[in-house]
């Protein structure tokens, strides 16, 4: 039979913990967020109020529980962690799409790779820019501008006849 009190440094023998020795693995090092991360977080915070209540709940829970789907499922109750993961994935895809689309729309106003010469309305000009610069389909343009797709196609055709497209380098 083995007696622990007879073994010198028995704590090391049984892989014990030295209370005076600091374990470096327990410390988590966080670096301060950079300008880019702060800017991205501000974009996310600006979009969150425009999401549905369900999507807002899942985003808050992701932040609170650090994407621990089991904890999130426990918090909600009556839902599996797999279902939570699927809903979080859909919510994040929606959030990404909204932010990306808003960035693309902002990009239209800032820089233009095309200049249109001719007598076109502001709406027609925006349709042309979305079609040529962002490579949007007519359906995507209609959704972005909250207009009928048929109207978008007619406005595009009318504007195309009136303008001359010049590429800016």
| Average pLDDT of every residue of the chain | 77
* pLDDT score for 85: 93
Which pLDDT band holds residue 11 (cuts at 50, 70, 90)? low
- Compute the distance between CA of residue 88 and CA of residue 94 in angstroms, rounded to an integer: 10
What's the half-sphere exposure (Cβ side, CA atoms, 13 Å) at 160?
9
Domains of the chain: 37-107 (1.10.10), 113-167 (1.10.10.10)
- Section 9-15 average pLDDT: 58
- Compute the distance between CA of residue 47 and CA of residue 6 in angstroms, rounded to an integer: 66
101 pLDDT exceeds 60?
yes
Q: Is pTM, for the whole model, over 0.75? A: no
**Is residue 124 classed exposed, middle or buried when 0-12, 13-18 and 19+ CB atoms within 10 A define those classes?**
buried
35-91 pLDDT, tens per residue? 888 888 888 888 888 778 888 889 889 989 988 999 999 988 888 989 999 999 998
């Amino acid at each position: 039979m083995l007696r622990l009190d007879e073994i010198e440094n028995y704590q090391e023998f049984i892989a014990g913990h030295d209370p005076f020795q600091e374990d470096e693995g327990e410390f988590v090092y966080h670096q301060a967020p950079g300008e880019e991360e702060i800017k991205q977080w501000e974009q996310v915070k600006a979009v969150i109020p425009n999401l549905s209540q369900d999507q807002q709940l899942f985003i808050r829970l992701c932040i609170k529980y650090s994407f621990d789907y089991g904890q999130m499922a426990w918090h909600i109750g009556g839902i599996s962690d797999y279902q939570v993961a699927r809903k979080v994935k859909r919510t994040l895809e929606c959030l990404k799409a909204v932010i990306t689309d808003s960035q693309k729309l902002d990009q239209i106003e800032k820089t233009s790779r095309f200049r249109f010469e001719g007598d076109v309305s502001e709406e027609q000009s925006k349709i042309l820019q979305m079609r040529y610069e962002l490579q949007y389909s007519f359906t995507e343009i209609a959704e972005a501008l909250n207009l009928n797709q048929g109207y978008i196609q007619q406005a595009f055709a009318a504007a195309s006849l009136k303008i001359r497209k010049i590429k800016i380098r």
